[in-house]
Chains A and B, each alone.
Chain A
Amino acid sequence: MSEDLKTSLKKLLVERLFLGIAPSDIEDAKALENYGIDSVSLLELVVGIEEKYGVSMEDGDFNIANFTTVNAIADCLGRRLPK
């Protein structure tokens, strides 16, 4: 998975969700809840992803497994992005 995508996702997380940490502080495989991300944050994240990457989250994408870590989000998003 492209490191650029993960880096860009971390930047989105920090900026959009006002996390107050540096993007580099977010670990790829660490559970997002460790960074104070809650349900309302997830809505902002989804909207942010759609706006930034020009994708539409499909019904099937709303699976908890896709939102646990940066790796998981990147995998899900990677499937949506044009190759």
Chain B
Amino acid sequence: MLHAPEGEPRLAALFCHPAFDEKKSGHRALVSCARRMALAGAACLRMDLRGCGDSDLDHGEASLKMWDEDVSEAISFLGERFPGTALGLLGLRLGASLAARAAEKHLANDAAPRILVLWEPVLCGRVHLEEQLKRKQLREMLTCGRASTQGRGHLSTGSAGPLDLDGFLVSPLLREELMAFNLDRPRSFRGEVFILQISASDSISPAISALAENYKKAGSNVRSEALREAPFWNQLDPVECPTAVDRTLEWLESLPLLKSR
């Protein structure tokens, strides 16, 4: 879905959605953000990664590598569709992690993204996978009184077969990629970075601080903010999270890069 502004866009932004059940609950906030950014002059592309949403393939066929390719294709699409327009990536949860990965790959050319917005990024794939397993175990507990699925021990020494995460099949490849994935390493991306921590805490966590620091060391201008809100990507009812959108828009409006057009 492409949300196009009236007139020439000041920014072309790709939205990267969360994985698993987080995608459903996080959806409306991303829709709201895209609509409001379009009103403010940004062309916003929201897409479903392969194996997700309405896109091709089953989830069991997906991998991080495939999702990286999807993001790259979308970046190329935006670059061709809006030549000369600043490109940005906005991601939520694992989508933020994918955005961060893509930013590392598309460097130093005219069509490279220059703006990165990370809403509560998944910093460690293993922890993320373990959380999804806990979600499954809690559902089993609520249905049957106790969980029957093995948890993190199963992840480390588990079978070679796919993992059924409550209807989302995780291939051995995706499981391996997630177990190995970590954002806690030096960054190469140089641009404008906004990291929005959305949690029960109103102070920035050490892990987010470390991520911000890595971006600064690479030469990025970084703003990190802590937004004390319930993690809406885990809520049962759809939540638009207007404050997250407000903060993001405020930051975008402050960027000299977007004022220069």
Q: Which residues of A contact B (CB under 8 A)?
A: 15-18, 38-40, 42-44, 46-48, 56-60, 62-65, 67
Partner of A59, one of B139, B153, B229: B153
**A48 lies within 8 A of B141 (CB):** no
A-side contacts of B235, CB under 8 Å: 40
Residue B36 lies at the interface, judged by CB distance under 8 Å to chain A: no
B-side contacts of A59, CB under 8 Å: 137, 147, 149-151, 153
Give complex CA distance A17, B199 in Å: 10
**A43 lies within 8 A of B151 (CB):** no
**B200 lies within 8 A of A16 (CB):** yes
Number of A-B contacts (CB under 8 A): 60
Residue B1 lies at the interface, judged by CB distance under 8 Å to chain A: no
Give complex CA distance A67, B234 in Å: 19
Shortest distance in angstroms between B233's beta carbon and chain A's nearest beta carbon?
10
Shortest distance in angstroms between B232's beta carbon and chain A's nearest beta carbon?
10
Residue B131 lies at the interface, judged by CB distance under 8 Å to chain A: yes
Other A-B contacts than A47-B134, A57-B151, A62-B137, 19 sampled, CB-CB below 8 A, are: A15-B200, A18-B229, A38-B236, A39-B138, A40-B234, A40-B236, A43-B131, A44-B200, A44-B234, A47-B131, A48-B200, A59-B151, A62-B134, A62-B141, A62-B146, A62-B151, A63-B141, A63-B146, A64-B142
A-side contacts of B134, CB under 8 Å: 43, 46-47, 57, 62
Give complex CA distance A48, B149 in Å: 21
Please, could you name 23 A-B residue pairs with CB atoms under 8 Å apart, sorted by A? Answer: A15-B200, A17-B230, A18-B200, A38-B236, A39-B138, A39-B142, A39-B236, A42-B142, A43-B234, A44-B230, A44-B231, A44-B234, A46-B138, A59-B147, A59-B149, A59-B153, A60-B146, A62-B134, A62-B140, A62-B141, A63-B141, A63-B147, A67-B141
Residue B28 lies at the interface, judged by CB distance under 8 Å to chain A: no
**A58 lies within 8 A of B151 (CB):** yes
**Chain B residue nearest to A57 in the complex (CB):** B134
Consensus secondary structure, chain A interface: helix
B-side contacts of A67, CB under 8 Å: 141
Residue B101 lies at the interface, judged by CB distance under 8 Å to chain A: no
A-side contacts of B147, CB under 8 Å: 59, 62-63
**B200 lies within 8 A of A62 (CB):** no
Give complex CA distance A15, B202 in Å: 11
Shortest distance in angstroms between A42's beta carbon and chain B's nearest beta carbon?
5
**A62 lies within 8 A of B138 (CB):** yes
Give complex CA distance A44, B234 in Å: 9
Shortest distance in angstroms between B27's beta carbon and chain A's nearest beta carbon?
15
**A43 lies within 8 A of B135 (CB):** yes
Residue B106 lies at the interface, judged by CB distance under 8 Å to chain A: no
Give complex CA distance A4, B140 in Å: 31
* Beta-carbon contacts under 8 Å, B193-233 to A: 200, 229-231
**B139 lies within 8 A of A39 (CB):** yes
A-side contacts of B131, CB under 8 Å: 43, 47
**Chain A residue nearest to B230 in the complex (CB):** A18
Residue B35 lies at the interface, judged by CB distance under 8 Å to chain A: no
Shortest distance in angstroms between B101's beta carbon and chain A's nearest beta carbon?
24
**A63 lies within 8 A of B145 (CB):** yes
Residue B50 lies at the interface, judged by CB distance under 8 Å to chain A: no
